[in-house]
Chains A and B, each alone.
Chain A
Amino acid sequence: MRSLVVVAGNTFKETVRDKILYNLVFFAILLIGASLLLGTLTMGEQSRIINDLGLAAINLVAVIIAIFVGIGLVTKEIDRRTIYTILARPITRVQFILGKYLGLAFIIAVNIAIMFTMFLGTVWVSGNVIYGSLFQAVELILVETLLVMAIAMFFSTFSSSTLSATMTIGVYVIGHLTSDLKAIAEKSHSQLTEAVLTALYYVCPNLELLNIKGQAASGVLVEMGYQLTATAYGVLYAGLLLTGACLIFQRRDF
């Protein structure tokens, strides 16, 4: 347990030193600038546009960090050969993977929390209502990011950084299209297409289940049951991917 915490703490520090938190400045400028500018352009829908923009920006920034930092966590240690010194210590490979994951998860949670605070500040300063549904949306954004991070780590245990990034982005895109995939599969005349698409539907995570940004921006709450089920779905999926990552990583030779 202690080793896990140490790895997680180191990952956290390392990522902070990579100046990953600088994105928050961009985020603040984007959000405040956009809400001031777009608010004058639109008519009557300023609150909606700020909400949409804020939630989309939080989501996008968090997912980008999850993908690009997530794939580097393991591959960087291997490339720099620091993995030897780490694994020579009393740290198991499972602890190493989980520690890395938790460290990044923590930094992403902090990141999202700060962005969300800035976002709420912008909503408040612009004189709009802060809906409870915004909290629900951001919670599911966090779950989605944790899942994407697990995907990135899973791929990075057995392939290069570029390939992992490509595959993670691929899964992210498919993850948002799965419901459409199923619809296309049902309409398809070719058995092969249908089989492939149906397989993709069941294998890839359905990230749309975690996307409630639209209704949240208009202040419509989702049911607590849905919120909890969707959260459980995301966390379990991430757990599954991490288990896979650990299994693969244990068999690797350095």
Chain B
Amino acid sequence: MNMMPRSLALWATGTVLVVFLGALQIPLTHWIQSRPKLQQLTYLPSGDYLRMASLGYRELAADLLWLQAIQMMGERKLSEDDGRWLYHAVDRITTLDPKFVRAYEAGSHALCILVVLPEESNRLLEKGMQHNPQEWKLPFFLGINYYFELGDDEKAAAAMARASSLPGAPDSLVRLAAKLFVSAKSPQQAVELLAKVYEETSDENVRKALEVRLKESIVERDLQMLEQAVGKFQAKYSRQPERLENLVGPGLLQELPKEPFGGRYFYEPTTGAIRSSEVAERMRIPVRRRGE
């Protein structure tokens, strides 16, 4: 046999193999792509194993997983199952690299926006806070989640207060935290927080804004205290008080609070409403929560 037909046979074999390979690859690719993207992460072992298996290249492994995970976040709407896979993926990424702040942030966002899984979202944020205690955004998002998604004002306020105390946090956070404390029916905590920050701040503009919010919080605290006293008065005497001065007495108030803006508190005996002469509106957060 001369050289020509022999190499021809090899070329022919090669071509046939390429054709077969192509024919196999098309259904295989189709099969893989038909599975939801997120479920491709199902068989990922736990973060601790991945941490060991990636030897000294943990951050690189975290980056690669992260790049996969964010491609999945690109889907417009995720099913609840997809959301759980996403949680698992981000949980593993952050176990590989606990300092990956961006992964906590984006993951917790996606878990509240693309799918409603606030508990998982909060778990990520709390894990992030544990490993990155200096990052103000993590407790900030935690506070937002507690307020909007879970309706837990108390925890929202605590998280926001923590965020406001961290370096780099915007000045307005402390005022937001105060509002949340008021919303959680703990105006005294709002007053204490604001007073503390007011003492520590030297910037004149910030101090001014803080002073206003501090006084508003005091008004709010006083109003809530007066309302409680009205309730107690009614329980004790089975009638409405006629004037605020009636509220001073044993088992009620020791004295009437002073309005911090220099005005005074008014009482409407017919409706039972109490208001300040200086503050037109009660302190509240003018946004709707999920489900409202």
Q: 1/0 per position for B86-98, CB-CB distance to A under 8 A?
A: 0000000000010
Given contacts A41-B67, A41-B71, A43-B70, contact A59 B99 (CB under 8 A): no
Counting contact residues on chain A (CB < 8 A from B), the size range is: 20 to 34
Whether, in the assembled complex, B58 has its beta carbon less than 8 Å from a beta carbon of chain A, the answer is yes
Question: Is B99 a contact of A215 with CB atoms below 8 Å?
Answer: yes
Q: Report the count of interface residues on B (CB-CB < 8 A).
A: 17
Cβ of A66 to closest chain B Cβ, rounded Å: 14
Q: 1/0 per position for A168-209, CB-CB distance to B under 8 A?
A: 000011001100100000000000000000000000000110
Question: Which listed residue (A41, A60, A208, A213) contacts B59, Cβ 8 A?
Answer: A213
Q: 1/0 per position for A28-57, CB-CB distance to B under 8 A?
A: 000000000010011111001100110010
Whether, in the assembled complex, A132 has its beta carbon less than 8 Å from a beta carbon of chain B, the answer is no
Question: Is B102 a contact of A214 with CB atoms below 8 Å?
Answer: no
Q: 1/0 per position for B37-62, CB-CB distance to A under 8 A?
A: 00000000000000010011111101
Contacts of B99 in A (CB 8 A): 214-215, 218
With most chain A CB atoms within 10 A of its CB, the pick from B55, B71, B99 is B55
Question: Is A43 a contact of B106 with CB atoms below 8 Å?
Answer: yes
Contacts of A38 in B (CB 8 A): 63, 67
Given contacts A41-B71, A214-B99, contact A56 B60 (CB under 8 A): yes
Question: Which listed residue (A53, A180, A207) contacts B63, Cβ 8 A?
Answer: A53
Question: Is B63 a contact of A52 with CB atoms below 8 Å?
Answer: yes
Question: Is B52 a contact of A177 with CB atoms below 8 Å?
Answer: yes
- B193-235: which residues lie under 8 A (CB-CB) from chain A? none
Question: Is B59 a contact of A52 with CB atoms below 8 Å?
Answer: yes
Contacts of B52 in A (CB 8 A): 177, 180
Whether, in the assembled complex, A217 has its beta carbon less than 8 Å from a beta carbon of chain B, the answer is yes
* Complex-state Cα separation, A48 to B106, whole angstroms: 15
Question: Is A213 a contact of B56 with CB atoms below 8 Å?
Answer: yes
12 CB < 8 A contacts A-B: A44-B102, A52-B59, A52-B63, A53-B60, A56-B57, A56-B59, A56-B60, A59-B56, A60-B57, A172-B55, A176-B56, A208-B56
